[in-house]
Chains A and B, each alone.
Chain A
Amino acid sequence: MNVASPFGAGSHRATGRRAISEPRWVRCLLITLAMLFLGVFLFIPLIAVFTEALAKGVDAYFSSFADHITLASIELTLLAAAIAVPLNLVFGVAAAWAIAKFEFHGKNLLITLIDLPFSVSPVISGLIYVLVFGAQGFAGPWMMEHDLKIIFAVPGIVLATIFVTFPFVARELIPLMQAQGRIEEEAALTLGASGWQTFWRVTVPNIKWGLLYGVILCNARAMGEFGAVSVVSGHIRGSTNTMPLHIEILYNEYNFVAAFAVASLLTLLALLTLGLKSWIEWHTAAENPPAQ
């Protein structure tokens, strides 16, 4: 930036020497390294998924989805996400609200607990449910008596999905709500708004983009989760297999076209998630221009 030209904000973009600048070859090297890394670890696998899925033609690709077992796995994945995401939306908003707007004992413990699913291996998370609800678990005999099935059944898969995805919404909202403080809510109260009106008319509009962002990430993880779900699923075809589990089975049976066809759906979901994420980021940047 040219210090000697005090001509308003436009001069920030003026060309010329910058205070922080590396030689050209350093910049080229860094950019090349980053691109190579992305190419090897992201773009080549991405292309591979679609090439393999379409290896035997478009017809073979679409006929992979005609199989009722595959359709059942897609249905189960959608069901698990449809239950886990709304629940974690409510939980995330409640937790972020409590943490950002109130002082209470055990607040730090709550923050640590919210992060727990991120710090625990997904396999361990699944195993915990087996230990609690499995036939040999704490609640096992009682559940057998009452003919309740959680492990190796759909409820177990939903529980495991909820557990591994519950930090997403809360983690997205806590810093946002902490930064916004409670001053606008207080203003709404002094203007006669009830707590409910304050929440819907002030809090929600202020967090809507962060909330959507968290929901999208939460959804992506809910549909893609493998480890925790694998432990509690029991891999019963057409009944307790989600898409990621079904892909593994198809692949192990050398049914590559079908495996990659289902994988391509998850990949498309990932691309869609990325697209939405960028759109939200662009939108929030446009709505909150940097302070004058």
Chain B
Amino acid sequence: MSVEVRHITKTFGSFSALNDVSLNVESGELVALLGPSGSGKTTLLRVVAGLEFPDPGPGQVFYHGEEVTNLPASQRRAGFAFQHYALFRHLTVFENIAFGLRVRPAATRPSEAAIQERVTELLRLIQLDPLARRFPNQLSGGQRQRVALARALAVEPKVLLLDEPFGALDAKVRRELRRWLRRLHDDIHITTLFVTHDQEEALEVADRVVVMNEGKIVQVGPPHEVYDRPINAFVFNFLGNVNLFQGRVAGGRVTTGETELQVSDDTDQTDSDASIYFRPHDVRVSAESNGMGSIPAQIQHVNLAGPMVRLELERLDTTGRFEVELNRDQWKLLGRQSGEQVFVDLQRVRVFAADRTIPVNDFSI
């Protein structure tokens, strides 16, 4: 079932949570709403669920082409998983999952045997069948979230809405659960919309990523496209570690310090102040200058923990610090140490005209 919102505006007092947001989610798609806190992503999800209603005006919500804007949450049949699970603390795991079936009107309520069967099936799906008689406070965070998902799935929802589903879990459990979610979605193909502030999660799990900021949708696209072709500095900055150099762009060439670079085709800025962004791994670090384009820098700090070696560098041609990543072989070949000088070639950069939407800092962690 497809989900569409059109021109949704939502304000809380003087705070504008959503500002004329429109989005279409195709049937069976798994879409991530990605943005920093306060960007409106959770509000958008709650509007889709019917837990918030858009401000009076042109705002509309459609399920499979049918308007549900004024339908309350209880009649929309959207499965919703909350960030902090919201399990019913006085009910067992089994009864939590059965809740949605038991509250149906007598005419459509399944028989007790059918409820037992459906819940048992879901317990097997979330691999928690031995814990059916436990209460929520006897479960770990990861188990609670799985119960919350099973509870939402029990009513056979037409759309699944997940609010930061893995936000409160530790990193390892989070990775396991999001792979589980991806597999689950591949199995049952339910239209799914999930909110996250974790770009890695969004890029790994989703078919499409919706990047939001300050109550607006900034960019929509498949993960690789959003990652490789961010439409502005905010998206670039938000989707991973990034370094920023200030410079000037003129005639297809951009200068920063004493370095001049060829600007890639998709940058049409001419003759103005420019912000030059690049990812820490989109560089080549060498011991010798290659002439034009190399940035001389001094190694300030070396971090050897993890799969990549991370260097903090101080520019020697002008002021500014930045971070680069090398693999271990490259680092060994480089043969330099903290305090020594290296030369950095920028392999891939994105240049934006002076952009006020992100804070100007020349070294981003």
CA gap between A194 and B89 in the complex, in Å? 19
With a cutoff of 8 Å between Cβ atoms, the chain A residues found around residue B154 in the complex are 191
In whole angstroms, what is the CA distance A159 to B99 when docked?
42
- Those of B31-66 within 8 Å (CB) of chain A: 49-51
> From B12, which residue of chain A is reached at the shortest CB distance?
A103
Which residues on B sit within 8 Å (CB–CB) of A188?
A: 88, 99, 103
Q: Which residues of A contact B103 (CB under 8 A)?
A: 188, 191-194, 197, 201
In contact, A201 and B49 (Cβ under 8 angstroms): no
Q: Indicate if the CB atoms of B99 and A189 lie closer than 8 Å.
A: no
Proximity string of chain A (203-233) to chain B, C-beta cutoff 8 Å, 1 when within and 0 when not:
0011000000000000000000000000000
B137, A191: Cβ atoms closer than 8 Å: no
Cross-chain contact of A192 among B74, B87, B89, B91 (Cβ < 8 A): B74
Residue of chain A at shortest CB distance from B157: A190
Interface status of A186 (Cβ within 8 A of chain B): yes
In the complex, whether A285 has a CB less than 8 A from a CB of chain B is no
Find the B residue at minimum CB distance from A202. Answer: B88
Residue of B nearest to A204 (CB): B90
Interface positions, chain A 14-69, Cβ under 8 Å from B, are none
Q: With the chains together, A201 CA to B87 CA distance in Å?
A: 13
Pairwise interchain contact A187-B88, C-beta atoms closer than 8 A: yes
Once the chains bind, are B73 and A186 in contact (CB under 8 Å)? Answer: yes
Would you give the shortest CB distance from A258 to chain B, in whole angstroms?
Answer: 47
B197 at interface by CB-CB < 8 Å: no
A136 partner residues in chain B, CB cutoff 8 A: none
**Is A5 at the interface (CB under 8 A from chain B)?**
no
Kindly state the separation between the CA atoms of A288 and B135 in the bound complex, as whole angstroms.
Answer: 11
Asked if A289 is at the interface (CB within 8 A of a chain B CB), the reply is: yes
Cβ contacts under 8 Å, A206 to chain B:
89-90
For the complex, give the distance between the alpha carbons of A186 and B81 in Å.
10
Q: Least Cβ distance of A187 to chain B in Å?
A: 4
Instruction: Give Cα A262 to B73, complex, Å.
Output: 56
From 45 to 103 in chain A, residues with beta carbon under 8 angstroms from any chain B beta carbon are: none
Give chain B nearest CB distance to A204 CB in angstroms: 10
Q: A190-B49, A190-B51 are in contact. Are A184 and B104 (CB under 8 A)?
A: no
Listed residue (A201, A205, A291) with the most chain B CB atoms within 10 angstroms of its CB = A201
Contact, CB under 8 Å: A190 / B90: no
CB within 8 Å of B: which of A170-189? 183-184, 186-189
Docked CA distance A190–B154 (Å): 12
Residues of B within 8 A of A191 (CB): 74, 99-100, 103, 151-152, 154-155
Contact A186 B51 (CB under 8 A): yes
| Contact present for A193 and B89 (CB under 8 Å) | no
Give the size of the chain A interface in residues (CB under 8 angstroms): 19
Give the chain A neighbours of B76 by CB distance below 8 A.
190
Within 8 A of A (CB), among B67-124: 72-80, 82, 84, 86-91, 99-100, 103-104
Give the shortest distance, in Å, between A292 (CB) and chain B (any CB).
8
Contacts of B151 in A (CB 8 A): 187, 191
Say yes or no: A186 contacts B99, CB within 8 Å. no
Q: Which of A183, A202, A288, A291 contacts B82 (CB 8 A)?
A: A183
- Smallest CB gap from A190: residue in B: B80
User: Is the CB–CB distance between A184 and B80 below 8 Å?
Assistant: no
Residues in A with CB closer than 8 Å to B79 are 190
Give B267-300 interface residues, CB cut-off 8 Å to A.
Answer: none
Q: Cα distance A288–B77 when bound, in Å?
A: 32
Residue of A whose beta carbon sits closest to that of B137: A289
Which residues of chain B have C-beta atoms less than 8 A from A289's C-beta?
137
Say yes or no: A190 contacts B73, CB within 8 Å. Answer: yes
Q: Is the CB of A187 within 8 A of B82?
A: yes
Q: Which of B72, B87, B103 has the most CB of A within 10 A?
A: B103
Is the beta-carbon distance between B73 and A189 smaller than 8 angstroms?
Answer: yes
Q: How far is the CB of A286 from chain B (nearest CB, A)?
A: 12
Q: Which residues from chain B contact A187 at a C-beta distance below 8 Å? A: 80, 82, 86-88, 151
How far, in angstroms, from A251 to B66 measured CA to CA in the complex?
A: 77
A194 CA to B338 CA, complexed, in Å: 65
- Per the 8 Å Cβ criterion, residues 132-148 of B in contact with A are 137
Per the bound structure, the CA–CA distance linking A193 and B104 in Å amounts to: 7
The answer to whether A192 touches B100, judged by C-beta atoms less than 8 angstroms apart, is yes
B88 lies within 8 A of A184 (CB): yes
Please name all residues of chain A whose beta carbon is closer than 8 Å to the beta carbon of B75 when the two chains form the complex.
192
* Proximity bits, B179-201, A CB within 8 Å = 1, else 0: 00000000000000000000000
CA distance A205 to B95 in the complex (A): 14
Q: How far is the CB of B134 from chain A (nearest CB, A)?
A: 13
A289 to chain B, nearest CB (A): 7
Q: How far is the CB of B88 from chain A (nearest CB, A)?
A: 6
Q: Which residue of B lies closest to A191 (CB)?
A: B100
Assess whether A186 is in contact with B137, with CB atoms less than 8 Å apart: no
Q: Which residue of A lies closest to B148 (CB)?
A: A187
- CB-CB < 8 A to A186: which residues of B? 51, 73, 80, 82, 86
Contact of B51 among A184, A189, A193, A201 (CB under 8 A): A189
| Ranked 7 nearest A-B pairs via Cβ | A191-B100, A190-B80, A187-B86, A193-B103, A205-B90, A183-B86, A189-B73
6 contacts across the A-B interface (CB closer than 8 A): A190-B49, A190-B78, A192-B155, A193-B74, A206-B89, A288-B137
Q: A189-B51, A190-B78 are in contact. List 11 more A-B contacts (CB 8 A).
A: A183-B82, A184-B89, A190-B50, A191-B99, A191-B151, A191-B155, A193-B99, A201-B99, A201-B103, A205-B91, A206-B90
Chain A residues packing against B (C-beta within 8 Å): 183-184, 186-194, 197, 201-202, 205-206, 288-289, 291
